[in-house]
Amino acid sequence: MSAVPNCDSSATLAAVRDDFTSIAWTWGTTAAERARAFPCDRWLPGADDALFRAVDVDAPAAVVFRWLCQLRVAPYSYDWIDNFGRRSPRRLTPGLEALAVGQRAMSFFEIVEFEHDRHLTAVTRSALFGEIAASYVVVPRDAASCRLVVKVLVRHPPAPVGWMTRALLPWGDLVMMRKQLLTLKTLAERPAGGRARGPQRVGKE
């Protein structure tokens, strides 16, 4: 994975912590990937925690990135938990590739930065979870495959809520994001990359 230009990650845990041992912080990633700079580093410097997740995808980087654009309308995780029971679309929704800063993603995030076929970065803030900045980075391996690597930076809310999020957020995020990445992987690896064919009904095959 090549470093993202102009990212100063020296103030974040990602650049200085090399003692990650739990899958709650490192699922699917390598030490080299965790040491790289990510776009989210500049959006939440001095974060309290850094979480990493990654999957191999047997699909071109452009196809995987196009599926990331679908996060504008659905989370692609456990829909009964975080999508009000509505099924995340299994076909690409025309027009979602037209990204813009300020658009919503996964209901509660705001897109702050992106590079087509490369990365999507979004932030959110809440009293329960604190401040979060996440970068979804697509790293080509060859013309037909890539790595999808995610870094999540967290600034926990003040105590006593912060005590709970420090203990539970990494594990909860692992459960939800593992499902999300594996779902996106499956959809991107389908024939034709799951491209929309004619009019589509949201959430239907």
Domain CATH code at residue 60: 3.30.530.20
Q: 10 Å Cβ neighbour count for 143?
A: 8
43 in a structural domain: yes
**CA 13 – CA 20 distance, rounded (Å):** 11
Which pLDDT score, from 0 to 100, does residue 193 have? Answer: 58
Report strand pairing: 104-105 vs 109-115: antiparallel
Which pLDDT score, from 0 to 100, does residue 194 have? Answer: 54
23 in a structural domain: no
| Digit-coded pLDDT (tens) for 3-50 | 443 444 433 444 334 445 589 999 999 999 999 999 999 999 999 999
Which pLDDT score, from 0 to 100, does residue 3 have? Answer: 41
6 in a structural domain: no
| Digit-coded pLDDT (tens) for 91-128 | 999 999 999 999 999 988 999 999 999 999 999 998 78
Q: Encoding tokens for residue 194?
A: 């799951």
115 in a structural domain: yes
199 in a structural domain: no
10 in a structural domain: no
Residue of higher predicted confidence among 197 and 144: 144
69 in a structural domain: yes
**By residue range, what is the domain housing residue 107?**
30-190
Burial of 70 (0-12, 13-18, 19+ CB in 10 A): buried
Number of domains in the chain: 1
**CA 85 – CA 92 distance, rounded (Å):** 19
Q: Has residue 163 got a pLDDT over 90?
A: no
Q: Which amino acid is at 185?
A: K
132 in a structural domain: yes
Contact 77, 92 (CB under 8 A): no
Reduced DSSP (H G I as helix, E B as strand, rest coil) percent helix, strand, coil of the chain, to 5: 30, 25, 45
| Digit-coded pLDDT (tens) for 121-158 | 999 998 788 999 999 999 999 999 999 999 999 999 88
Which pLDDT score, from 0 to 100, does residue 196 have? Answer: 44
